[in-house]
């Protein structure tokens, strides 16, 4: 009887009175004859699906670790995201899997180290350009992108009856065979490359990459707003099914154009030129757009059963993103290049005002998303841990061993974090530099310990070598 009442309480608004009455009669009849009561199976598959949480995953682009008010930005006003952090958990030691765009997105959609795929350790260049030897080779073979068979998102969610939408930046292949719709997304609106003009939506001055599904389209409006508009429309039409929406913002990636900068002249020559005022305006506009999504969840009556995740794909662009005390920036595997904000809200599951120091990375979110959907995570050979359950169940923090490697041209950045120790190597044109840091007391990576602790440096160097053999790609 207790089992019946607990089930009915958890799902009362989906249980028919007839089903509940029948269950209670069965209980008393069987109890009278001394029989054990059966497990209740009255609720339908659709009710089981409805109990699964919706998931809204918001990915900012080039957002530095300190680019939000709740992470210490001295100027930007971000009340929506600050409030979201208060309503759930804010992580202090979260990392992107990559130091650039495409690598992290690969890890997110595969749930594994991007090195396993091949060719995606660096952002795909404008117009489908490979930027290091493996990527150049794949581009020449018209194969530079994420193979469909490597992705677990959204495919595994579709098996659990989720409706899945992707809105915004893709950056995992320009070829038609890498169009997002080939991976099982129910809807896609966004651009294929790494960045576009915020108002005319071209990549450089003339390259058209904006798509609705598999067809090129034109739209009027500011890119951040268009991404939000498409997300809101998707949520409004998905209320009857559990949904997963991947909101892949361009903001605050260059070109630096705030929502009022339509008349600013942006050319190929000044595309990456920093405008500090525009950068802050972009951050504050992004915050408001997240607010619009949260308001839509409330209006649709699904906010309490929706997990909202907000993170960045890598550290801030040099000179633009606020990395606080962190050293380095996007493109490096120093802390400023890979340590990023992460906020998660799950009402009634994650306690408000939680701050987590658990070390985690992007593909941990993939594991978590699949776990809450009911997917058979153990069968998928994922590399991450279920970070959402870790926080929701208030488990003790555990040490992690995580690896990074990013390649571009003749330059390779490699790192491993093992507990609080971090080893970093930079190789470029035959020259090699190495550093060892203890992040417990040196988050700014100012004190190189490699000379005083050569044994630890050697141990971590070997860890990286063993890892590189294990993740060697097949293609």
Would you please indicate which residues are annotated as catalytic (active-site) residues? 101, 171
CA dihedral angle for residue 361, residue 379, residue 57, residue 166, rounded to 10 degrees: 130
The single residue listed with the structure tokens 């009022």 is 260
Q: Is the peptide bond before 252 cis (omega within 30 degrees of 0)?
A: yes
State how far the Cα of 375 lies from the Cα of 184, in Å rounded to an integer: 16
d(C-alpha 62, C-alpha 281), whole Å: 15
Q: What is the distance between the alpha carbons of residues 58 and 165, in angstroms, rounded to a whole number?
A: 12
Q: Rounded to the nearest 5°, which phi and psi values hold at 5?
A: -65, -40
**Residue 334: C-alpha distances to residues 99, 128, 314, 340, 439 (Å):** 9, 27, 11, 12, 11
What would the DSSP string read from start to end of 48-104?
A: HHHHSPEEEEEEESS--TT-SGGGT-SS---HHHHHHHHHSEEESSEE-SSSSHHHH
Residue 85's nearest CA partner among 410, 277, 309 is 309
**Beta-strand pair 243-248/163-169:** parallel
State yes or no: cis peptide before 154, omega within 30 of 0. yes
Q: How far is CA 350 from CA 169, 203, 340, in A?
A: 29, 40, 20
Element (H or E) spanning 307, and its range?
A: strand 306-312
Helix (H/G/I), strand (E/B), else coil: 457 = helix
Q: Is 346 left (phi over 0), alpha (psi -120 to 50) or beta?
A: beta
């Amino acid at each position: 009887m207790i089992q019946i009442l607990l089930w009915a309480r958890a799902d009362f608004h989906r249980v028919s009175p007839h089903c509940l009455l029948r269950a209670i009669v069965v209980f008393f009849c069987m109890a009278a004859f001394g029989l054990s009561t059966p497990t209740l199976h009255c609720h339908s598959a659709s009710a089981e699906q409805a109990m699964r949480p919706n998931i809204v995953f918001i990915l900012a682009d080039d957002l530095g670790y300190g680019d939000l008010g709740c992470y210490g930005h001295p100027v930007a006003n971000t009340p929506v995201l600050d409030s979201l952090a208060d309503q759930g958990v804010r992580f202090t030691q979260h990392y992107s899997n990559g130091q650039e765009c495409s690598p992290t997105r690969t890890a997110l959609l595969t749930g594994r180290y991007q090195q396993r795929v091949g060719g995606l350790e660096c952002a795909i260049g404008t117009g489908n350009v490979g930027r290091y030897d493996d990527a150049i080779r794949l581009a020449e073979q018209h194969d530079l992108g994420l193979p469909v068979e490597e992705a677990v998102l959204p495919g595994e969610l579709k098996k659990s009856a989720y409706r899945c939408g992707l809105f915004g930046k893709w950056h995992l292949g320009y070829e038609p065979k890498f169009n997002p719709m080939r991976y099982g997304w129910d809807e896609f609106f966004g651009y294929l490359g790494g960045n576009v003009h915020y108002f005319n939506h071209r990549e450089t001055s003339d390259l058209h990459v904006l798509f609705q599904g598999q067809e090129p389209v034109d739209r009027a409006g500011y890119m951040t707003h268009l991404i939000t508009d498409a997300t809101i429309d998707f949520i409004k039409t998905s209320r009857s099914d559990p949904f997963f929406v991947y909101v892949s913002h361009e903001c605050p990636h260059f070109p630096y154009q705030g929502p009022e900068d339509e008349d600013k002249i942006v050319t190929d020559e000044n595309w990456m030129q920093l405008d500090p005022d525009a950068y802050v305006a972009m951050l504050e506009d992004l915050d408001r757009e997240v607010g619009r999504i949260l308001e839509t969840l409330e209006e649709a009556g699904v906010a309490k059963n929706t997990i909202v995740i907000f993170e960045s794909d890598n550290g801030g662009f040099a000179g633009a993103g606020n990395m606080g005390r962190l050293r380095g920036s996007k493109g490096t595997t120093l802390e400023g290049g890979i340590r990023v904000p992460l906020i998660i809200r799950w009402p009634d599951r994650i306690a408000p005002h939680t701050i987590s120091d658990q070390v985690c990375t992007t593909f941990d979110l993939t594991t978590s998303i699949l776990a809450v959907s009911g997917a058979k995570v153990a069968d998928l050979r994922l590399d991450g841990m279920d970070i959402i359950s870790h926080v929701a169940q208030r488990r003790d923090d555990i040490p992690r061993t995580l690896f990074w490697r990013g390649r571009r041209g003749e330059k390779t950045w490699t790192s491993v974090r093992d507990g609080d120790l971090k080893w970093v190597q930079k190789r470029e044109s035959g020259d090699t530099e190495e550093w060892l840091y203890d992040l417990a007391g040196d988050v700014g990576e100012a004190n190189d310990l490699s000379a005083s602790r050569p044994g630890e440096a050697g141990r971590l160097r070997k860890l990286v070598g063993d890892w590189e053999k294990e993740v060697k790609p097949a293609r």
